[in-house]
Structure 1
Amino acid sequence: MASSLTKDSTGTAGTERTFLGQPRGLANLFMTEMWERYSFYGMRALLVLYLAAGVKDGGLGFDTATAVAIYSVYNAMVYLLALPGGWFGDRVWGARKTVAVSGTIIMVGHFLLAVPATASFFIGLAFIAAGSGLLKANISTMVGHLYPDKNDPRRDGGFTVFYMGINLGAFLAPLTIGLVGQKVNWHLGFAMAGVGMALGLVFYFMGFRHLAPESNMVPAPLSPAERTAVIRKAAIWAVVAAVAYAVVGMTGSLSIDWVLWPLTILGLALPAWYLVRVKRDPELSQVERSRMSAYVWFFVAAAVFWGIYDQTGSTLSLFADKNTDLSIFGWEFPASYFQSLNPLYVMALAPVFAWLWVALSRRGKEPSTLAKFSNGLVLVGLSFFVMMLAQAAAAGGVKVTPLWLAAVYLLQTVGELTLSPVGLSLTTKLAPEKYASQMMGVWFLAVTAGDSVIALLQLMGAPTDTEWWFASQGALAVLAGVAIYMFRKKVQPHMGGVH
């Protein structure tokens, strides 16, 4: 990760310090995101297991369906709140300040989880969701700011390097936080996540001078009248929610479902509403509107993908804990260790994909973005067909080999590398100028929509421990991938010169 000297665009010796051939600021954003993801994925590796663990084992004792629903709704809210997070970056603080504030909120949230009390646990989850939403859209936007030319050939590679930072943190987290949380104490594991976020903030503040000046600007600042109106509306909605829940509480019928159902419905309705709102904005140019029409295809494809992929921390984690042989050569490892497989695969394969896209581009043979998305959907669908077979093999309480999950994660990782970093880069290319940071929030709303569908199925009582659960979703993903590929020539002309 050492920096190196490079030459400027004129061919003369330059003094610009680079990071793996990329702008120097990418190194600090890499480290910040790595430690933030360490805290996020470390906590997430424990979350559904802690929720489902019995009270005598130090957990909260929820049934499987409720634990998966809570996990899915929490994950959906993390990405849902990326939308107002992007709005804060565009209209209130600018991307750089928003990331600084959000990292602090995340750190506080993890330390609240470390307190052995149910109330502080759920308050901590709310803090982490809010902070992660503020951070995610803006730190990805700052990566985009490092490449003023939207067709800079380094751009996709830069996002792939950034993505490797995410996965380095995600790889280390279950091996350390997961081990301590499951084998020593749940709350000590959560505290380790807070320390990780603190380290991320240190690297972030150290790298301010290497970030693009654009990251410190507020693209469309609120007027005093707009600021007053926003505060008034927020206060009104807060009062309405408080009164509604107070009334329900006085009737004695308040339960976790009163939180899960509204948030699930919000996670499905808001993405659709916001896409329509942006596309119909009269201030957008004709080219920007056309690009938004194309973007809808990518959004739907990503929602299907993430709805399946994000079950690695819920249904697959519970399968690992209950149905998988967790011993190798007599050594028993925690179920959370499986959460390190995906980032391990990414770190091994991401450089290969970064090189592959550049090499194919030079030869004029790089697949279109639509073709990459199609491949991602087919692969994630195939992974759930493998899970269908694993679930069948585990019938009757049989403990199956860990190789089943290893194969599932490998298929999902290859699919992820054809879809996720490319989708991040594409969003910065297709985003209307007015919605630069907010469109990163819209990209993350695809995760919200996918996770909300899974939460909805759980709230309606769909069983997750059957072959049908995995087969039906696998078939949906494969069909969606085929459809995307078949209609690629109709979508490409709407992308306004972006490729």
Structure 2
Amino acid sequence: MTVSSPPTAPPTQRTFFGLPRTMYPVAGFAAFDALAFYGMQTILVYYVYFAVAEGGLALSTDVAIAIVSTYSAATFLATIFMGWLADNVLGAGRGLRWGAVLALAGYLVLAAVPGEVGLATGLIAIAFGAASMWVSEGAVLGGTLNAHESKRESGFTVYYLGSAGGALVGITLTGVLQSEVGFRLGFLASAVAILIGLLVYLPFRRSTEATAPVVHGHGVKGWALAWPILAVALGVAAIIGTVAAGSNPSTIVGLGALVLAAGMFVKLFSRRDLDREHKRRVLHYLPFFGATAVFAMLYQQLYTTVAIHSEASTDRVVFGIELPPSTVLGIAPLCTIIVAPILATLWGALGDRQPSLAVKFAIAFGGCALAMGWLAAASGTGELTPIIVLVVIVFVFGASDVVVSPSGLSLASAVAPAGFETRMLSLHYLGAAIGIAAAGVAGEGFSPGENETAYFAAFAVVGAVVAVAMIFVRFAFGKRLIATDGTTDGVEVL
């Protein structure tokens, strides 16, 4: 079997603020990637259900929720194939660059081709392109941090900070462009952003990708490559067919992601070349995989039900100016920009004395539960929700995301066995796909102006349950998981 493994980074690697300089081009590229992706996703739900006269497709809100959630979940689901492709065919460096080109084509299709055909074609290209970039970015970044293990989580937090900065600009820019000019220009802005990101990254790619996972041998060819491609094509056809039949495609995506995740875990645990310690690490990763899925389900509400609530049931007039409905969503990446540097510095300074991952996750989910509970109460008053309520709620979700997402990426990267580095990151994103698909299924029960209180309250309960569960995980599994020196005395994560 052909496997990939990252070369060991030299101990004398030059640093900047304590982190290897080679990681910063990845963080910079991630900023443009996020600008394009989240800028487009922010206006996507409105594009689907706005009237034709407003530039939309005039579909129902429940269809809009299903399409947006299916697209988001399918993007995460595609990471499993794109991660395998990067491990066995492309290598992480080319996976990043080729993914950018594919995503660029998708954004251009959305901007240029009207109607449902343009929507489907563009979203498919963006999903696979973004998936390739995400797993490859994580693998390339992980390679640059191999000689700086104690700084790994700080490095991933900085990477996430770059993404947050791009997301903030993208959400703000596309929201204004869409409201003032139209959806086409908003989509075109995403295409321009990914092109700029690629042009900025290319001059630094050799030094940055020097420690990235590479494909050894001749790679996978012939039928071994054809079968996965055929499976992906059939999956895409099944999703399109489900939409054409009028059913919710989120169900298919969610079940597919769940089956793939189960298969990957079984494959990991059944590998004979993995010793007991490596399998124990993967076993202890399972609760965090489940928590990632639930958090994705909660966070997806920002781009579906909360976005709809912002447009239909929120007082968005500030100082006499009515803000675009997507504006409030920019608070989440703004929060990341404010909180991430603080946490990156704090985690780096504390080192092994920092709070365990289970405790971090428990605090994050507790905050989400309180935020959803407040939104449930505000939506039940019978009046328009003050925009300050949504600002605080989205800010809380942004702060929680700073805790959950970088830590989850860092953990997945750290527990990955040799030859499974990129696919382990794919497994992390697969958990997100399961959660987002579940959000799409749950969205069928959302009725704006009718059952918003009960709907948001249910998600508040889910967040509270997971918060309590993570405390139990901390005491059930013990204190340490990852060994950095061949022993069990490694990085504290539980």
TM-score normalised by the chain length of structure 2: 0.90
2:357 is aligned to: 369
Amino acid at match of 1:111: L
Any unmatched runs of 5+ in structure 2?
1-9, 484-490
Amino acid at match of 2:476: K
Q: In structure 1, how many angstroms separate the alpha carbons of the residues matched to 2:227 and 2:395?
A: 49
1:125 is aligned to: 123
Map Cα deviations across residues 157-181 of structure 1 (whole Å, 9 max, x no partner).
1111111100000000122111111
Judged with a 3 Å threshold, the aligned counterparts in structure 2 of structure 1 residues 341 and 219 are, in CA distance, closer, same or farther, namely: farther
Map Cα deviations across residues 274-333 of structure 1 (whole Å, 9 max, x no partner).
223322233322111111111111101111111101211111111110111111111121
Percent identical across equivalent pairs? 26
Map Cα deviations across residues 407-466 of structure 1 (whole Å, 9 max, x no partner).
11122122222221111111111111121010001111121011111112234x454652
1:353 paired residue among 328, 333, 343: 343
Instruction: Write the mapping of 1:397-412 to structure 2, written as runs, cut at 5 A.
Output: 398-412=383-397
Judged with a 3 Å threshold, the aligned counterparts in structure 2 of structure 1 residues 381 and 430 are, in CA distance, closer, same or farther, namely: same
Judged with a 3 Å threshold, the aligned counterparts in structure 2 of structure 1 residues 55 and 318 are, in CA distance, closer, same or farther, namely: same
SS in 2 for 1:390: helix
Higher deviation after alignment, 91-100 or 479-488: 479-488
1:311 is aligned to: 301
Tell whether the 8 Å contact from 1:294 to 1:492 is kept in structure 2 after alignment.
no
Amino acid at match of 2:389: W
Q: In structure 1, how many angstroms separate the alpha carbons of the residues matched to 2:235 and 2:373?
A: 45
1:419 is aligned to: 404
Counterpart check, 1:389 vs 2:387: no
SS in 2 for 1:335: coil
2:257 is aligned to: 267
Counterpart check, 1:229 vs 2:227: no
Tell whether the 8 Å contact from 1:220 to 1:434 is kept in structure 2 after alignment.
no
Tell whether the 8 Å contact from 1:100 to 1:201 is kept in structure 2 after alignment.
yes
1:438 is aligned to: 423
Q: In structure 2, how many angstroms separate the alpha carbons of the residues matched to 1:26 and 1:487?
A: 32
2:133 is aligned to: 135
Q: In structure 1, how many angstroms separate the alpha carbons of the residues matched to 2:416 and 2:342?
A: 28
1:33 is aligned to: 30
Amino acid at match of 1:489: F
Q: In structure 1, how many angstroms separate the alpha carbons of the residues matched to 2:239 and 2:286?
A: 35
Q: In structure 1, how many angstroms separate the alpha carbons of the residues matched to 2:195 and 2:233?
A: 30
2:464 paired residue among 455, 459, 478: 478
Tell whether the 8 Å contact from 1:291 to 1:494 is kept in structure 2 after alignment.
no
Map Cα deviations across residues 85-138 of structure 1 (whole Å, 9 max, x no partner).
211121111000111100000000000000223201210000000111111111
1:297 paired residue among 275, 287, 291: 287
TM-score normalised by the chain length of structure 1: 0.89
2:331 is aligned to: 341
Q: In structure 2, how many angstroms separate the alpha carbons of the residues matched to 1:220 and 1:295?
A: 31
Superposed CA RMSD in Å reads 2.4
2:98 paired residue among 93, 96, 101: 101
SS in 2 for 1:495: strand
Q: In structure 2, how many angstroms separate the alpha carbons of the residues matched to 1:212 and 1:44?
A: 29
1:4 is aligned to: none
1:320 is aligned to: 310
1:455 is aligned to: 440
Judged with a 3 Å threshold, the aligned counterparts in structure 2 of structure 1 residues 406 and 25 are, in CA distance, closer, same or farther, namely: same
Number of matched pairs: 473
Higher deviation after alignment, 281-290 or 106-115: 281-290
1:469 paired residue among 455, 464, 471: 455
Amino acid at match of 2:470: I
Q: In structure 1, how many angstroms separate the alpha carbons of the residues matched to 2:162 and 2:178?
A: 23
Q: In structure 2, how many angstroms separate the alpha carbons of the residues matched to 1:258 and 1:371?
A: 36
Q: In structure 2, how many angstroms separate the alpha carbons of the residues matched to 1:240 and 1:484?
A: 34
Amino acid at match of 1:402: I
Judged with a 3 Å threshold, the aligned counterparts in structure 2 of structure 1 residues 38 and 385 are, in CA distance, closer, same or farther, namely: same
Q: In structure 2, how many angstroms separate the alpha carbons of the residues matched to 1:483 and 1:41?
A: 31
Higher deviation after alignment, 288-297 or 21-30: 21-30
SS in 1 for 2:175: helix
Q: In structure 2, how many angstroms separate the alpha carbons of the residues matched to 1:366 and 1:241?
A: 43
Judged with a 3 Å threshold, the aligned counterparts in structure 2 of structure 1 residues 293 and 493 are, in CA distance, closer, same or farther, namely: farther
Higher deviation after alignment, 432-441 or 411-420: 411-420
Q: In structure 2, how many angstroms separate the alpha carbons of the residues matched to 1:405 and 1:340?
A: 11
Q: In structure 1, how many angstroms separate the alpha carbons of the residues matched to 2:268 and 2:125?
A: 28
Judged with a 3 Å threshold, the aligned counterparts in structure 2 of structure 1 residues 107 and 233 are, in CA distance, closer, same or farther, namely: closer
2:7 is aligned to: none
Amino acid at match of 1:300: G
Map Cα deviations across residues 224-243 of structure 1 (whole Å, 9 max, x no partner).
4xx4233145337747986x
Tell whether the 8 Å contact from 2:43 to 2:178 is kept in structure 1 after alignment.
yes
Judged with a 3 Å threshold, the aligned counterparts in structure 2 of structure 1 residues 245 and 325 are, in CA distance, closer, same or farther, namely: closer
Judged with a 3 Å threshold, the aligned counterparts in structure 2 of structure 1 residues 103 and 233 are, in CA distance, closer, same or farther, namely: closer
Counterpart check, 1:49 vs 2:37: no
2:68 paired residue among 67, 71, 74: 71
Amino acid at match of 1:420: S
Amino acid at match of 1:290: R
Amino acid at match of 1:203: V
Q: In structure 2, how many angstroms separate the alpha carbons of the residues matched to 1:336 and 1:241?
A: 29
Map Cα deviations across residues 21-55 of structure 1 (whole Å, 9 max, x no partner).
32112221111110011000110110001111012
Q: In structure 2, how many angstroms separate the alpha carbons of the residues matched to 1:164 and 1:436?
A: 22
Q: In structure 1, how many angstroms separate the alpha carbons of the residues matched to 2:239 and 2:369?
A: 40
Counterpart check, 1:288 vs 2:267: no
1:110 is aligned to: 107
SS in 2 for 1:114: helix
Q: In structure 2, how many angstroms separate the alpha carbons of the residues matched to 1:272 and 1:478?
A: 26
Tell whether the 8 Å contact from 1:145 to 1:215 is kept in structure 2 after alignment.
yes
SS in 1 for 2:149: coil
Q: In structure 2, how many angstroms separate the alpha carbons of the residues matched to 1:429 and 1:238?
A: 32
